[in-house]
Structure 1
């Protein structure tokens, strides 16, 4: 009872103040209640500002979607793995055909060869071939072949050969006359083959024949159908740690730029313990590693 009566101990002025405060609180609550349940104001979505803002949002969404897609960067199709092939849309059978072909130490040097080996569809080839990146020497070779291309029928007409007894079917022992027994190989090309063979100190891989300047792939295929590597050549190797700059440049697969990178790397590491360290050099042509090391050793 004392608690109830204590509220009336305030004087009249204080009680009026309390009542006025209560009225203000009630009015404020009414405004909040009415505002919450009032109908939402309709927004004109055709306003230029809103349209421009929406376009910006759509543009950012499109960029995000594009970034979320897996990008395809230029690559050498000779080194496609199972995972990479699946990403590109190749079936397991198509990937296996390529891997089986590569196990023979052969390379595909054009998109046409890639399709011939893998047997992929034209649509898939057109989709992924723009990203093929072949070594510069392969590109130059293809350009030269195109420039000096001669139709097969013309070759057959120009070089109709009589049956000739071949002295050896070993490509490293065959003579110029032996090579000329192949339709499409005349005196000029046979000399080029012999000259390039001497530069290489002998063919270590059969597909090195495709590197002979101006020799068509179709003609080279005919040569390799008869001539094989029966015995690997004995190549004179030089120590990568003591070789001089000019001497290293004589390596048929090393140009001036690569030679400089190798010497810079050798100075950096002081001494190469293993030839595989060459692959640590930035920009080193991995597809030529097995050819370059034919002439080198690390001691």
Structure 2
């Protein structure tokens, strides 16, 4: 049985055997072809002299390119200065001009040429003066379009600007500028002011102004200017700007009696809140009325910081 199965799969006709034989020959041929190819292909001869010439030409081209761009006058941001024109063939060549003292407001075209300034730049200067322009100080020549920084540095020590023709003395830039008398700044009493006066302060809008007033009412008044800085939502930078305009010198703040005040009355104060107000009431119930305000410091929850803030609002009478 097995012989019949094997013979049925491995028995071929004459044409099939011929096809298999040809297929095997082609497989072997294509497998060996990459190894046989070098035997039939001869490499081209390389001329070493031509190769050396090409390398030399590339080096010359690289040096020429570097020479064109390395001396371009760019700043640290890879941009040309605003007062320097963009020229394809600009190089930092030393000027051959003659140096002498000159007034840029009266110097002629010949004088500028003697100084080594280019013709286009001279035309720019004369056009500027013709339209009413004027140089007031030696540093002003640095604003001339087309006058490069190295030229400005070379010419500036030789600039001498005379007084103007209408007998107005030349400007003295060494003197401090004249300052107008500033109007006196009006002070704002933070215990009597309203929102309109606060809104006039820098950085204070209607919401912040109303918050300051509400905070003042809950406290019972401010006893020092620094308390305004505790207003919710008021940036410290804004408070530093306005505190010199504020004062807190109008009368005493509103006080309440810690021997008669209820828990609700005391906890409504921003500096007491519930835990401290409740401790004061419990201490009063156990030990009797307070004989002085500083007795509340015997309560553990009343720290020195809390006492220093709230003491101005408390009384025992």
- Name the TM tier (shorter chain): 0.3 to 0.5
The structure with the largest helix share of the pair is: 1
The structure with more radius of gyration: 2
Using CA pairs under 8 Å that are at least 6 residues apart, name the structure with larger relative contact order, 1 or 2.
Answer: 1
Compute the TM-score of the two structures, normalised by the length of structure 2.
0.39
